[in-house]
Amino acid sequence: MLKVKNLHKKYSGESLSAVVDISFSLKECEVLAVVGKSGSGKSTLLRMLAGLMKPDAGVVEFDGKPLKNPEEQLIAGHDKIKMVFQDFQVKPNMTVAENVKYKLLHFNKEYQAERCEELLDTCGLSTLAEKMPHELSGGQQQRLSLARALADDPKLLLMDEPFSNLDPIIKEDLLLELTEIVKKERLSLILVSHDTRDALLIADRIAYVEEGRLVQIGDNETVYKQPKTLEVAQFFGRVNEISLDGQKHFIRAEDLTPQLEENKFEVTVSSSTFMGGVYLNRARYSGRKLVVFYSSEKLSENSNMVLGFKGRCQLHF
Ligand code: ADP
Ligand code: MG
């Protein structure tokens, strides 16, 4: 449905390119999360996918046709591709229902009412239809932005760090609801985030971007378990570099286990910090080398213990 070919973008006056030779494609009803550190080029990429910014080189094809450049049209963008902005572009002097209906003005009254009701229901706003936007919580306002975007009947939704100003659990619930909405409305979604939990929670595939380049794209488990580079691995969590018998092993903190008989080595615990549910431990082995690992119980400082890891948990780059 969406084909991105060799996209490049360099802002004038900048020495480095923001997006470098990015290519990938997206299927219908697929959810792709674009992740990467701040400044890696995610937002720039998304703006080009939305048709809001002209690439220096490369094309974005939607349903087999190249997107028009912003300056070639009256209103920048594509009518089937919709960017949901986090600064909710709602009308402050209209009720929730009016805000949605406003987007449906070109339809007849009956369809307007019917579709509005459906969208409010889909976005969990039915009981709030007569409220004014300022009476809504942050999460409810985000739902309203989404309902308005859906009213335009897009096929592809683009979201840049959505819900990032919300509390973690509210954000998690909204992301889960979003996946259901996307399935129900048969939409594709590209979501940009710097938070890997968002990506793992809702995406079918994850694309990792670094310094404007697409380093890896694949299904969630593949990107997590077979990261192409140490940077990708570390983006998803703590990775230990362990030297044993003259060999280097890359092991995730969660794969380092006390009392395991495989690949074992002795450590001295230097700290054990409660993280809610688990303890994050720092320990030293063969002198001063540091490892981090998790445990379900608090470990005593300066205690000695044996850690090990399964051979199949090793990351290879
Ligand atoms: P991300 O969304 O991953 O944080 P951005 O796409 O916003 O990354 O930025 C990528 C790079 O382009 C960064 O180095 C940023 O400083 C630069 N950049 C972004 N927007 C502009 C702009 N309008 N003018 C100049 N440089 C920009
Ligand atoms: Mg950004």
Question: pLDDT by residue (tens digit) across 285-294?
Answer: 997 899 999 9
What's the confidence (pLDDT) of residue 179? 93
Per-residue pLDDT tens for 134-152? 999 988 998 999 999 999 8
AA letter at 208: Y
Task: Determine whether the shortest distance from the Cβ of 141 to ligand 1 is under 6 A.
Answer: no
Handedness of CA 128, 131, 136, 142 (dihedral sign): positive
Task: Determine whether the shortest distance from the Cβ of 40 to ligand 1 is under 6 A.
Answer: yes
Q: What separation in Å is there between the alpha carbon of 41 and the centre of ligand 1? A: 6
Torsion angle, alpha carbons of 24, 28, 34, 39, to 10: 70
Fold of 238-315: OB fold (Dihydrolipoamide Acetyltransferase, E2P) (2.40.50)
Per-residue pLDDT tens for 207-259? 999 999 999 999 999 999 999 999 999 999 999 999 998 899 999 999 999 88
Classify domain 2-231 by CATH architecture: 3-Layer(aba) Sandwich (3.40)
Q: Whose CA is nearest to atom 15 of ligand 1?
A: 39
As given in the structure block, the two tokens for residue 74 are 């009256």
Q: What separation in Å is there between the alpha carbon of 173 and the centre of ligand 2? A: 22
Task: Determine whether the shortest distance from the Cβ of 55 to ligand 1 is under 6 A.
Answer: no
Distance of alpha carbon 145 from alpha carbon 311, whole angstroms: 48
Per-residue pLDDT tens for 14-73? 999 999 999 999 999 999 999 999 999 999 999 999 999 999 999 999 999 999 888 888
User: Which ligand is nearest the CA of 45, by number?
Assistant: 1
Ligand 2 ion: Cβ-proximal residues, 5 Å cutoff: 43
Ligand 1 atom with the smallest distance to the CA of 13 is 25
As given in the structure block, the two tokens for residue 242 are 């362990």
As given in the structure block, the two tokens for residue 258 are 């006390």
Position 86 confidence tier, pLDDT thresholds 50, 70, 90: low
User: Which ligand is nearest the CA of 86, by number?
Assistant: 2
Cβ contacts of 187 within 8 Å, gap of 6 or more = 29, 154, 155, 156, 157, 181
Q: What separation in Å is there between the alpha carbon of 195 and the centre of ligand 1? A: 18
What's the confidence (pLDDT) of residue 245? 85
Ligand 1 atom with the smallest distance to the CA of 12 is 25
What's the confidence (pLDDT) of residue 228? 97
Q: Do domains 2-231 and 238-315 have the same CATH topology?
A: no
What's the confidence (pLDDT) of residue 87? 61
Distance of alpha carbon 182 from alpha carbon 178, whole angstroms: 6
CA atoms within 13 A on the CB side of 260: 15
Q: What separation in Å is there between the alpha carbon of 58 and the centre of ligand 2? A: 21
User: Which ligand is nearest the CA of 19, by number?
Assistant: 1
Q: Where does residue 90 rank: exposed (0-12), middle (13-18), buried (19+ CB within 10 A)?
A: buried
AA letter at 76: A
What's the confidence (pLDDT) of residue 71? 83
Q: Which residue has the tokens 């209906």?
A: 101
Distance of alpha carbon 26 from alpha carbon 61, whole angstroms: 10
Domains of the chain by residue range: 2-231, 238-315
How far does CA 68 lie from the centroid of its chain? 26
